[in-house]
Amino acid sequence: MRTLLLTDIHGDTDKLEQIINREEFDAILCAGDLSDAREYDDYEGRLEEVLDLFDKKDKLVKAIPGNMDPEEACVKALRERRFNLHRKIASFDGFEAVGYGGGITPFGTPFEPSGEEIKTAVETLSERMTSDTRIGVIHQPPADSELDIADGDHVGSPEVRELLEDSDFDLVLTGHIHESRGRDEFNGTVAVNPGPVLEGFYAVADIDEGIAVEMKEL
């Protein structure tokens, strides 16, 4: 199953549309910051534009809010389209995905759950997963990794790192830290930040008997 991996759109519908038009895919997973409550006075209007683009090719889509997405408003819009993965499990052809949104910053952004909240919720949900192939979608990156470096400092969550080290996920899609595009591995769990759609970055995962991830850009 060819799956488009996206994160940190921040309402940039132009780049999102270019990516969607450029690629052939069966499904979309998005790790948050769909719109941006600090950038747009009409947060919900821009969010709907993003979700309209997700709907464009009539594929299976699952997404979570990021820290710039107010949790209640974002999840409500995602639920209305059956796109919500926040605090949920979703079944795809050949794999299951579980998600949890939001991320910590020093700036008091709209949705900042603690690392412990994320870890506890995802652990509880993952116990109900039955597929042999499991994917996590978590906006907050793990601490002390290739995916959490901002201005030279590691700013990720220790609890999310513990979660990845102890989990049996095959792949975790994350985001949040725009400059930490890349991948890392935690006791066999591969974690990927495809980079912000806002800057023209994304990834594609071919999920069959294994998972092959290609990092791409416009």
Section 25-53 average pLDDT:
98
Measured CA to CA, the distance from residue 48 to residue 65 in angstroms comes to 13
Residue 172: what pLDDT? 98
Tell me what pLDDT residue 45 has.
98
**pLDDT digits over 173-199, tens only?**
999 999 999 999 999 999 999 999 999
CA–CA separation, 137 vs 157, rounded Å? 15
pLDDT in tens, 101-133: 999 999 999 999 999 999 999 999 999 999 999
- Mean pLDDT for the stretch of residues 198-204: 98
| Spans of all domains in the chain | 2-217
Compute the mean pLDDT over every residue in the chain, rounded to the nearest whole number.
97
> pLDDT tens for residues 129-158?
999 999 999 999 999 999 999 999 999 999
Q: What CATH number belongs to 2-217?
A: 3.60.21.10
If you average pLDDT over residues 55-81, what whole number do you get?
97
pLDDT at 212: 97
Task: Check whether 209 has a pLDDT greater than 90.
Answer: no
Task: State mean pLDDT over 88-109.
Answer: 97
Name the phi and psi angles at 30, rounded to 5.
-130, 130
Residue 24 buriedness (CB in 10 A; 0-12 / 13-18 / 19+): exposed
- pLDDT at residue number 121: 97
What's residue 114's pLDDT? 97
Of 209, 136, 147, 121, nearest in space to 173 by CA? 136
